[in-house]
Amino acid sequence: KAGVTQTPRYLIKTRGQQVTLSCSPISGHRSVSWYQQTPGQGLQFLFEYFSETQRNKGNFPGRFSGRQFSNSRSEMNVSTLELGDSALYLCASSQTSFRDSGYEQYFGPGTRLTVT
């Protein structure tokens, strides 16, 4: 099976712009989660989608949003970019999102966003 794919891999944007990142999960996986990784804050959960519904949201401002399509592919959007949004954005997929399931998440290679 192909792994989780993320596009683009690298992105340079200017403050105030917006950006859309894309994630294709492993075939058959219906849950997609997004994480932000920075040297200062480490790995932080952004949100999770399952069956096109946001199940969980982390502590990020409303400038960060996402969606999931019927084929389980997901996008996240960051509007009005700030310098502090520079980070590696990781997408992860899992077989399920049911409570008390122990399925692991599989991560993509990430999108490196640089805001100048």
Give the binding site for other proteins (CB under 8 A): 4, 31, 33, 35, 42-45, 48, 50, 55-56, 58, 90, 92, 94, 97-100, 102-110
Residue 12 Cα to chain centre, angstroms: 17
On whether the CB atoms of residues 93 and 2 are closer than 8 A, the answer is no
Q: Among residues 16 and 109, whose Cβ is nearest to other proteins?
A: 109
| Number of residues in the chain | 116
Q: Provide, rounded to whole angstroms, the least separation between the CB of residue 78 and other proteins.
A: 19
Q: What is the number of alpha carbons within 13 Å of residue 114 lying toward its C-beta?
A: 5
Q: Among residues 56 and 80, whose Cβ is nearest to other proteins?
A: 56
Q: Among residues 17 and 43, whose Cβ is nearest to other proteins?
A: 43
Q: Provide, rounded to whole angstroms, the least separation between the CB of residue 27 and other proteins.
A: 17
Cis omega before residue 109 (within 30°)? no
